[in-house]
């Protein structure tokens, strides 16, 4: 939606919430393709008429540049002309006329058409549909409304609802250059990964925060800073870690991430900063972690060789973390039941993760592509299966992404 359209909606918000009659709008909003049936259901779950009107105004701002003109037309068609005029006065809005829509010919079953009677053309679709509604309720519309009432409680219990804008923070930590004392090589191609994910998650409604080349303690500081923010007005949180990785002792979440100084942080400790104890404003909300780093040093040749490996590097490191590492006590003490958490790894624990110097890592490149293609229609777990299937077929050495899923509901991104 254009910014001037958003401003018009914001200026009219109080009056819309007070006066807007939402019930007559649902069918027209569907016909105009402003919202899908699922989106209408989510708005209706908001509660009272005022709550539904408030949510409708919020969601309308994410529905493209023709959303406001179409909404104004819907208001006019339902007799809410004062509100339509209020929004039209907020800017020069192109009017959407019924004639702009595809005409549908009306044929009655009870009477043959009289050839002596001529008309100038078929009735436009919205006029036809409104006329039919006066005579007889549409079966499809009735079924849709019935399913909304029947499925409201069930959907709320099985799907995370993302209503806020932004829907949450997305912290990306991108470690590219490492100190000579660390013994770790620079990660050519990681900036490509970072740029892709910045654009992708902004398009999915997140406020993106990017940090580059952080030492281990600096990573901890950034994570704790994010965890201590007030997330009460947001619906979720996302953390992306791009670095070298290693194996680490763990109870629930394997692996570790290196800072640029060569010191590692256990993934388990990273996740623990966002659990219900340390981040109460995210209780009951999804917390997603995407990790592009090695889980170890093993290389999996698979069973097929079909690409050039010359431009591909590994995020493995020669440094091993002792089995009795010092992170174990902190992880055990600070990890209650990890509900509403998903950790997606670029590779199976113990194996390397591959990165192309020019196009970025296999995992991020594939994840970005899958999100672009399917985020508007598929839930996160289904998309991660697509990522795993695509990445596992790449390269001379094989790579198998995976995830540790403690989400209680299905998660759908809000694609704009």
Strands, sheet with 264-266, edge to edge from the N-terminal-most edge strand: 245-246, 256-258, 264-266
End-to-end CA distance of the chain: 10
Our CA angle for 307, 313, 314, nearest 5°, is: 115
284: left (phi over 0), alpha (psi -120 to 50) or beta: left
Burial class of 358 by CB neighbour count within 10 A (0 to 12, 13 to 18, 19+): exposed
Known catalytic residues are: 244, 294
Q: Give me the residues paired with residue 385 across strands.
A: none
Residue with tokens 């094989």: 398
- Please give the distance of CA 91 from its chain centroid, rounded to a whole number: 31
Task: Write the DSSP assignment of 137-197 as a string of letters.
Answer: --HHHHHHHHHHHHHHHHHHHHB----SSS-EEEEEEE-----GGGT----TTHHHHHHHH
- The answer to whether the CB of 173 falls within 8 A of the CB of 211 is yes
Residue with tokens 């009951």: 284
Distances in Å between the Cα of 144 and the Cα atoms of 98, 214, 323 are 23, 51, 57
């Amino acid at each position: 939606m254009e910014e001037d359209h958003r401003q018009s909606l914001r200026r009219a918000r109080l009056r819309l919430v007070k006066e807007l009659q939402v019930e007559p709008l649902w069918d027209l909003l569907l016909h105009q393709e402003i919202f899908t049936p699922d989106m209408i259901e989510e708005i209706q779950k908001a509660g009272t008429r005022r709550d539904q009107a408030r949510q409708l105004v919020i969601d309308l701002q994410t529905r493209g540049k023709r959303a406001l003109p179409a909404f104004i037309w819907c208001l006019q068609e339902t007799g809410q002309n004062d509100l339509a005029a209020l929004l039209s006065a907020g800017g020069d809005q192109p009017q959407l006329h019924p004639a702009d829509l595809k005409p549908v010919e009306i044929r009655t079953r009870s009477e043959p058409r009289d050839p002596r009677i001529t008309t100038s053309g078929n009735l436009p679709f919205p006029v036809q549909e409104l006329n039919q509604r006066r005579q007889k309720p549409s079966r499809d519309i009735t079924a849709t409304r019935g399913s909304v009432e029947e499925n409201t409680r069930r959907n709320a219990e099985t799907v995370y609802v993302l209503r806020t804008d932004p829907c949450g923070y997305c912290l990306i930590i991108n470690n590219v250059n490492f100190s000579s004392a660390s013994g770790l090589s620079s990660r050519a191609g990681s900036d490509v990964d970072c740029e892709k994910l910045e654009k992708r998650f902004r398009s999915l409604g997140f406020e993106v925060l990017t940090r580059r080349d952080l030492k281990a303690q600096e990573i901890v500081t950034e994570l704790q800073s994010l965890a201590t923010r007030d997330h009460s007005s947001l619906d979720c949180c996302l953390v992306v870690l791009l670095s070298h990785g290693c194996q680490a002792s763990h109870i629930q979440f394997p692996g570790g991430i290196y800072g640029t100084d060569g010191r590692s942080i256990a993934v388990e400790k990273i996740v623990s900063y966002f659990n219900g104890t340390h981040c109460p404003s995210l209780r009951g909300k999804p917390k997603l972690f995407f990790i592009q780093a090695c889980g170890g040093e093993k290389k999996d040749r698979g069973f097929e060789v079909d690409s050039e490996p010359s431009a591909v590097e590994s995020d493995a490191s020669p440094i091993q973390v002792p089995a009795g590492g010092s992170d174990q006590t902190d992880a055990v003490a600070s990890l209650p039941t990890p509900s509403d958490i998903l950790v997606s790894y670029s590779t199976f624990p113990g194996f390397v993760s591959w990165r192309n110097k020019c196009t970025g890592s296999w995992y991020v490149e594939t994840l970005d592509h899958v999100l672009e293609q399917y985020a508007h229609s598929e839930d996160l777990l289904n998309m991660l299966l697509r990522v795993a299937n695509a990445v596992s077929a790449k390269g001379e050495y094989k790579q198998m992404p995976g995830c540790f899923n403690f989400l209680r509901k299905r998660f759908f991104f809000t694609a704009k």
